[in-house]
A and B are shown apart, each in its own frame.
Chain A
Amino acid sequence: MAKLILSMDGLVLREIPLDKERISMGRKPHNDIQIDNLAISGEHAVIITLLNDSFLEDLNSTNGTYVNGQPIKKHFLQNGDVVELGKYRLKYVNEVAPETVAADFEKTVALRPEAVHSTVEQAAIKGFGETRTGGRTTDPGAGASLTATAPRSDAATAPPRFAATTTTPRFATTTTPPSQPMPATPSRAAIQILTGGNAGKELELTKTLTTLGKQGVQVVVIARRPQGYFMTHVEGARCPVVAGEKLVANKPHPLNDHDIIELGGVKMEFFLKG
């Protein structure tokens, strides 16, 4: 479950679990998080939590609400964000246990109105892969209005299926956290034309997909993938030759440094840069 860590001058005051859909912050006592300080407005800001996402909204406070140093009106909170109200700092922490991430977190589940009702508690305790079945939220309105959706008559009588199907994190061995960095891209590469009118020209392969040739005559594409560059012949009766080897149509062929490519009577060289 997501939480806020309230601190002032580096001193942690309390931890606030975001266990309600709407948590208000302000100076007045009726707020969920009361901060009794004159720099804080009576009703200063509110945090709306929908399942695993939380949104911070400033309620036209006098001194404003800041996230990571920037004043905000409305903000979609991300793990690690620091919210500042006056001298108070609230750190937003929303960590997903890594072993449940790839297996459960990304599993498609159907949402029914009562699943939203029970929002945070259920999602957090049972894991995101919990098979919540059926239903539609009939009101595509803003966050708060989602809970206003009346449960449908059949929902009440539905068997307790979603309680029985626990998805254990059995894919734990092959998980990748959601914040995984993009796979490393291979080193830069280029093609230098060796013969013909454009001899000497160099074409850097900056895109993930580069098309060479003339449409309707002979076309090849070079795909940049994490494991290197691949050339595929996609159009035309004549296949190009790479390092003396004739390409088979539609079959990707790995390109090696200094490979000579013959394409439509023109010779060119593929090479890696740095």
Chain B
Amino acid sequence: MAVDLSQAIEIVVRTDPGRVRPHNEDSVFANAAVGLAVVADGMGGYNAGEVASGMATSLLGAELERLFAERAAAGRGSGRRLWDYDVLNEEIARVNDIIYETALTQPQCSGMGTTLVMAMFHDNGMTVAHLGDSRLYRLRGDEFQQITRDHSLLQEQIDSGLITPEQARLSRNKNLVTRALGVDPGVVPEIRDYDVQAGDVYLLCSDGLPDMVEDEDIAMTLSSLSSSPESCAERLVDMANDAGGRDNISVVLIKIRQAFPAARGWWARLLGWFK
């Protein structure tokens, strides 16, 4: 019994190099059927950033798709959040090692790495993993909220009270991330679970959007264009470009059309006890 979430979840993906950079070092991956979205913002000289972010999204995407299919084939329900947590942790560690090894062995890739933000939807909830300053936002009703907290020097300075979020926009220390994928032999992703409600809109993005567009304007765009994720994603990219487009811009918009509870038949529960 394969779980297909594409009825419940609509995902729109846009990525744009912006107006200054010649390359797009961002990579995105989305699969509405399994309920998975990934944004990675690569870093490293020459084309290495693209390589790192591309590896992150394709490796994570392909492997998680495979695991979903396997799990569905084994007849297991998708209601086990612990499973998702472990799988994400393992997969991120595995991809981290691959990128790290590649960076060590390929001179042209030396020093590459990538940020990561990903959301996995299952059983009226989602598991979010992130590293670095790519973000996840949520619009629920009128409330627009940043769900992930950047792993960046600036965020640490804000947390410690050294600077205010308003001052942070003026900082010259932007884009110094304190966690990233593929830059160290080990990695500690931040993984959290959230409940999901019908009508929610989620936005995964690289820092090219929030650096150029105020949260307030992002919120307004999401709420006024929530009926058309397609136009909304387009508009967000345009807004970042209109404001200068100094970095690559990637957005993944996820609209929750209806609830998607896991199958909870007596047999599913029974199987759940035995596995």
| A interface residue numbers (CB < 8 A to B) | 50-53, 55, 76, 78, 94, 96, 102-103, 105-112, 129, 131, 133-137, 140-143, 146, 154, 159, 161-162, 164-167, 171, 174-176, 180, 182-183, 207-209, 211, 215, 219, 221, 223, 225-226, 232, 234-235, 249-250, 252
Contact = CB atoms under 8 A, between A and B. Distances in A.
Contact of A108 (B133, B217, B244): B133
A120 B194 CA distance: 40
Contacts of A249: 228
13 contacts: A51-B176, A78-B170, A103-B21, A106-B211, A108-B207, A110-B178, A143-B160, A176-B244, A180-B244, A183-B244, A221-B224, A221-B231, A234-B231
A250 B231 contact: yes
B247 A106 contact: yes
Contacts of B246: 102, 106, 176
A212 to B, nearest CB: 10
Contacts of A154: 184-185
B81 interface: no
B235 A165 contact: no
Contacts of B22: 171, 174
Interface in B219-253: 220-221, 224-225, 227-228, 230-231, 234-235, 238-239, 242-244, 246-247
B262 to A, nearest CB: 30
Contact of B177 (A110, A142, A211, A226): A110
B235 A209 contact: yes
Contacts of A129: 45
B54 interface: no
B163 interface: yes
A142 B162 contact: yes
B146 interface: no
Nearest to B44: A131
Overall SS of chain A's interface: loop
Contacts of A143: 157, 160, 162
A105 to B, nearest CB: 7
Interface string B154-168: 001101111100010
B50 interface: no
Given A142-B162, A161-B110, A223 B180 contact: no
A94 B172 CA distance: 10
Contact of A135 (B104, B132, B184, B224): B184
Contacts of A133: 103, 111, 113, 180, 183-184
Interface string B7-51: 000000000000011100000000000000000010111000000
Contacts of A165: 44-45, 110-111
B247 to A, nearest CB: 6
Contacts of B217: 208-209
B228 A161 contact: no
Interface in B42-83: 43-45
B168 to A, nearest CB: 9
Contact of A111 (B110, B112, B153): B153
A106 B12 CA distance: 27
